[in-house]
Every structure is written in structure tokens, then in C-alpha cells.
Amino acid sequence: MKEEVRGNILNPLPVALVGALVDGKPNYLVIGYISPFNFGKHVFFSLFKKRYTRTGILENTTFSVNIPSISLLEETQLCGSKSGRDYDKSSLFETFFGELKTAPMIRECPLNMECQVEQILDYDLNEGIIGKVVQSYADSNILVDGDLDIREVHPIIWATCGDFNYYSIGTRIDA
């Protein structure tokens, strides 16, 4: 027997820290709904129009996507609970820049992408941000023969329905 459930059941999703320069200073916010598409050449996320980081994304038309490991849970939760208007989130991390020069990335995150805004979709109170992935970076210790071993990333995974909690990745299934 099937039962109806509320909400989006496409989950779990990785928690991402999206970064942008706002008034020349790196700022990061937590995004729980983020998705690659076009075979990973683009990413999409939804952003509430009142978010502080949005200003930097619109001003520079660039942003970063940083995938934190579970060792950064406390800093990630802080980024999700404080506004950059009131709290300097750049003090939480070591920032580095890549090819775009305006998409701040977090050195402590094992995975980083710098993206160029390609399109912004208006959804009343929110916007859908579509970014082209310009360059991706990974810590060398999570690569095996040049390929990403997601088990070594230890990403924070968010259940977007049900109990809305954080999880970690489990066992690899060899099929």
C-alpha cells in the first residue's frame, strides 16, 4: 500500500556553503536544495531574495559551491543561523580564489566549485540561480587515481523530507 507524503522526496541532498563577495568580503550561506544538471556542467539552487549573499552574487555574477565535511558541522550550522549583515562568516574559514577571482572558496571544504551566473529565474520571494561550473577543486587525499572517493569526503547530507536532519554517507554498494 502506498501513502501520500508531503514535500519533495528527492533526497538526501548534500549541504553546500555558497560563497560570494559582498562589499569585497567573502560571505557564505547554507544551501540545502542544490542540484547539478546538464551532466554536471551547471548547478541550480533556490535563494530567498532577502539573503545577504544574494547581493554579492548579483553584483559579481559569480559564486562558489563548497561541500563541507562532517568535521565542519558546527561552522556550517553557524553559517545557516547567522546573517552576513551581522556576523563576519569569512572569519570561520580560510578563503581562496580560483580562475574567476570573485568567487570565494573555503579551503577547509574538501570539494569546491567556482561558478558563473548564467540565468536567474524569478519565483516571487525566491530566485532560482543557474550557474555554469567554471572549475572544480578537490583535496588530493580524497582522490583515488584521479577519481573522487565520496566516502573520503564525509559530506553532510540533509534529508529534505521526513525528519529534516543531517546524515552521513553509508556503505558503498558494489553492483
For cell 508531503, name the residue.
Answer: 6
Given a cut of 90, whether residue 163 has pLDDT beyond it is no
> Over the chain, what is the mean pLDDT?
92
Domains contained in the chain, CATH given: 17-167 (2.30.110.10)
Sign of CA dihedral 46, 67, 107, 87: positive
The DSSP annotation for 33-70 comes to -EEEETTTTEEEEEEETT-HHHHHHHHHSEEEEEE-BG
Given a cut of 80, whether residue 161 has pLDDT beyond it is no
Please state the φ and ψ torsions of residue 81, each to the nearest 5 degrees.
-115, -10
Spatial CA neighbour of 53 closest among 88, 18, 86:
18
Confidence of residue 151 (pLDDT cuts 50, 70, 90): confident
Q: What is the pLDDT of residues 90-106, one digit of tens each?
A: 999 999 999 999 999 99
Per-residue model confidence (pLDDT) at position 162: 67
